């Protein structure tokens, strides 16, 4: 079922369409990491890594280029772009908590109809890792979730109330899944776009809360 709709790369491509020239962006681990591969032509964004880099470039697998003193927040070796800077963790979270980050894309386990985010702990494991997720969800100006629409066992991830431990309350602005793009609004979840070949009824059948079809509901333009 999860194979229906968009690949992880296409989800990332759709998220990348939200990037605007000059934005400072922090990408979470998982699908969001892929967003940096799909920056629209003519758009320059600055990537922030919470481990202390502003202005890092592509990840690198080139043995001659890899320097393990230069990694992103996902632990991958990266390159540096002209104009990059380094700073310590308190300065890094000054950027994040002080609303200096324009957009963050995060993975999720669940998102509620009110935009509550759960992404740090599977209850059965009894412990999890928060990393920078709580700070990013609360502090970034815009929060986009990129995730598969349902779990591996077919359960909806978009729910009325999160049953998993929360990362932040009312934090999510836009949800992009393999099936749809859904905007969180005060009136509820608005179904904005559908992946190719996916019907609104099908998306609704895999979503717990009621979706409000947007007046201009359309196929995702990728």
Partner 1 sequence: MNKVYATTAEAIADVDDGAVIMFGGFGSAGSPTNLILALAEKGTKDITAISNNIGLGDKLDTLCQNKQIRKFIGSFPIRATSQRPDLLYQAYLAGEVEIEVVPQGTMAERIRVGGAGIGGFYTPTGIGTSVAEGKEERVIDGVRHLLEFPLKADFAFIKAYKADTMGNLVYRMSTRNFNPIMATAARITIVDVEEIVEPGDLDPEAIATPGIYVDRIVKGPKHDLHGFE
Segment interacting with partner 1 (CB under 8 A) among 83-91, 150-158, 186-194, 201-209: 83-91
Size of the site for partner 1 (CB under 8 A): 46
Shortest approach of partner 1 to residue 7 CB, angstroms? 21
Give the torsion through C-alpha atoms of 166, 170, 174, 175, to 10 deg: 30
Q: CA nearest 135: which of 26, 46, 32?
A: 26
From 23, 165, 183, 214, residue interacting with partner 1 (rule: CB under 8 A) = 165
Shortest approach of partner 1 to residue 41 CB, angstroms? 29
**Which DSSP symbol is given to 165?**
P
Site string for partner 1, 13-42 (x = CB under 8 A): ----------------x-------------
Quote the tokens at residue 181: 């793009």
CB nearer partner 1, residue 5 or residue 28: 28
Quote the tokens at residue 166: 């929360």
Quote the tokens at residue 129: 């890792």
Say whether 65 is catalytic. no
Q: Is 160 in the site for partner 1 (CB under 8 A)?
A: no
Phi, psi of 36 (to 5 degrees): -65, -15
Residue partners of 82: CB distance under 8 A and separation at least 6: 55
Q: Is 152 in the site for partner 1 (CB under 8 A)?
A: no
Active-site entry in 50, 113, 148, 193: 50
Q: Is 67 in the site for partner 1 (CB under 8 A)?
A: yes
Name the burial class of residue 77, with classes exposed (0-12), middle (13-18) and buried (19+) by CB atoms within 10 angstroms of its CB.
middle
Contacts with partner 1 by CB under 8 A lie at 29, 49-53, 67-77, 80, 86-90, 92-93, 96-97, 116, 125-135, 138-139, 165-169
Which residues have a catalytic role annotated?
50
């Amino acid at each position: 079922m999860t194979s229906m709709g968009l690949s992880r790369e296409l989800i990332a491509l759709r998220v990348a369409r939200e990037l605007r020239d000059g934005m400072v962006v922090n990408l979470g681990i998982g699908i969001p990491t892929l967003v940096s591969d799909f920056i629209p032509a003519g758009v320059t964004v600055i990537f922030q890594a919470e481990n202390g880099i502003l202005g890092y470039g592509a990840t690198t697998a080139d043995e001659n280029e890899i320097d393990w003193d230069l990694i992103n927040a996902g632990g991958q070796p990266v390159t540096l772009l002209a104009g990059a800077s380094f700073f310590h963790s308190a300065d890094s979270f000054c950027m994040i908590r002080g609303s200096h980050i324009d957009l963050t894309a995060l993975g999720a386990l669940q998102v509620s109809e009110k935009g509550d985010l759960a992404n740090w702990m599977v209850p059965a494991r009894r412990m999890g890792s928060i990393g920078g997720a709580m700070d990013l969800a609360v502090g970034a100006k815009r929060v986009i979730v990129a995730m598969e629409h349902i779990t591996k066992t077919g359960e909806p991830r978009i729910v009325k109330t999160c049953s998993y431990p929360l990362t932040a309350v009312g934090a999510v602005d836009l949800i992009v899944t393999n099936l749809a793009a859904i905007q969180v609004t005060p009136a509820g979840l608005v179904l904005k776009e559908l992946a190719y070949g996916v019907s609104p009824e099908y998306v609704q059948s895999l979503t717990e809360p009621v979706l409000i079809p947007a007046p201009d509901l359309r196929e995702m333009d990728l």
